[in-house]
């Protein structure tokens, strides 16, 4: 049976790449985003790849709009099986230069958008006692960096919110599941439309992954709903650095993470951003860094093959013990 999937932020970047991948599996997809141009282009791609699509222009910061989008999806396709919370916005700026309004806007989209999506999904999944909620998270949920304080704080909030949700589902003995997919830097269009208060153009640090890598991680989480799925070696490194060496990590990021988030060329101070309104046009899944983005993640491959790796490790250990016993004999 084909799954019914909702993707917020489905018109571009990771959401767009995930929609393509799931469409090739025959999914029926409800796409939620603000920009109609990108939504309609994504909808056409889904249909061409063998899936079905309903596009719903909506701002996830508006809880009622998210609820209407959920209703529209179920009217078109029936009960929602998977809800993917992916929408986000950010501002590249030191805290001292941010406005209260900008902090509020990032929080409303990147954190409260997840809350609104999760609640819309729960209203449908809990009575049926089935369904999966996927929170698209980041290494920055564990380890904040300079210049993106509002985004990092929102991702930290999503982590805490989801931990509370897990406890409640366990308490109620619900069969609704929730998983988090933690991502590294990804080559998406966000670096061309993100709000920026500094002089140079935003650019992601290396290693940088293509959005299809993130989409494969999300698809794996759908098929294998573990508590957490980590994509990219830098994601795992950030988790352990914060856990065991937080002070040293502070100093490392103070020296390297400021300039490391910008390109050499100057930004246009009049360039529009998507913080308040969507930018017109279809922006696709990829950003402008295809020349250095990685198309594979060894760490994700190890995650998706860990059962086989465990069997192989057990076999090697058994062989070692057998050879050692023969040597002693």
CA distances (Å), 304 to each of 30, 50, 162, 207, 223, in order?
26, 25, 23, 20, 10
Query: Which pLDDT belongs to residue 269?
Result: 87
CA distances (Å), 146 to each of 12, 23, 74, 151, in order?
25, 37, 41, 10
Question: Is the separation of the CB atoms in 195 and 275 below 8 Å?
Answer: yes
pLDDT-derived band at 324, boundaries 50, 70, 90 = low
What are the pLDDT digits (tens) for 241-290?
999 999 999 999 999 998 899 998 999 988 999 999 999 999 999 999 99
CB-based burial of residue 111 (10 Å sphere; 0-12 exposed, 13-18 middle, 19+ buried)?
A: buried
Decide if pLDDT at 313 tops 50: no
Q: For the structural domain made of 4-296, what CATH number should be given?
A: 3.40.50.720
Decide if pLDDT at 65 tops 50: yes
Question: Is the separation of the CB atoms in 281 and 274 below 8 Å?
Answer: no
Query: Which pLDDT belongs to residue 302?
Result: 78
Q: Name the average pLDDT for the chain.
A: 92
Neighbour tally for 213: CB within 10 Å: 23
Query: Which pLDDT belongs to residue 303?
Result: 76
Pairing, β 293-294 against β 200-202: unpaired
Question: Is the separation of the CB atoms in 51 and 27 below 8 Å?
Answer: yes
Q: Read off the pTM.
A: 0.90
What are the residue boundaries of the structural domains of the chain, listed by start?
A: 4-296
pLDDT-derived band at 219, boundaries 50, 70, 90 = very high
Choice among 151, 209, 230, 252 that is catalytic: 151
Q: Is 230 a catalytic residue?
A: no
Decide if pLDDT at 328 tops 70: no
Query: Which pLDDT belongs to residue 325?
Result: 56
């Amino acid at each position: 049976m084909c799954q019914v999937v909702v993707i917020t932020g489905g018109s571009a970047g990771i959401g767009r790449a995930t929609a393509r991948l799931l469409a090739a599996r025959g999914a029926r997809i409800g796409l939620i985003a603000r920009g109609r141009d990108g939504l309609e282009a994504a909808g056409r791609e889904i249909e061409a790849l063998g899936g079905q699509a309903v596009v719903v222009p909506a701002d996830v910061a508006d809880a009622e709009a998210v609820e209407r989008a959920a209703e529209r999806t179920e009217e078109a396709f029936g009960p929602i099986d998977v809800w993917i919370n992916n929408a986000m916005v950010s501002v590249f700026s030191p805290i001292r230069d941010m406005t209260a309004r900008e902090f509020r806007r990032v929080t409303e989209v990147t954190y409260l958008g997840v809350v609104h999506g999760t609640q819309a999904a729960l209203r449908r999944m809990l009575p049926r006692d089935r369904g999966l909620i996927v929170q698209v998270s980041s290494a920055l949920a564990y380890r904040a960096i300079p210049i993106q304080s509002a985004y990092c704080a929102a991702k930290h909030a999503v982590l805490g919110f989801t931990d509370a949700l897990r406890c409640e589902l366990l308490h109620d003995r619900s069969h609704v599941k929730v998983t988090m997919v933690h991502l590294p830097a990804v080559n998406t269009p966000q670096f061309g439309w993100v709000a920026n208060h500094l002089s140079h153009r935003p650019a992601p640090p290396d290693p940088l992954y293509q959005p299809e890598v993130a989409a494969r991680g999300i698809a794996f989480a759908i098929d294998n709903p573990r508590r957490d799925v980590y994509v990219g070696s830098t994601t795992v490194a950030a988790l352990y650095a914060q856990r065991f060496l937080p002070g040293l990590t502070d100093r490392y990021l103070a020296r390297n993470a400021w300039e490391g988030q910008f390109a050499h060329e100057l930004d246009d101070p009049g360039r529009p951003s998507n913080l308040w309104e969507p930018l017109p046009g279809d922006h696709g899944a990829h950003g402008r860094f295809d020349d250095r983005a990685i198309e594979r993640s060894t760490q994700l491959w190890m995650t998706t093959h860990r059962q086989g790796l465990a069997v192989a490790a057990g076999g090697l250990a058994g062989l070692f013990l057998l050879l050692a016993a023969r040597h002693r004999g």
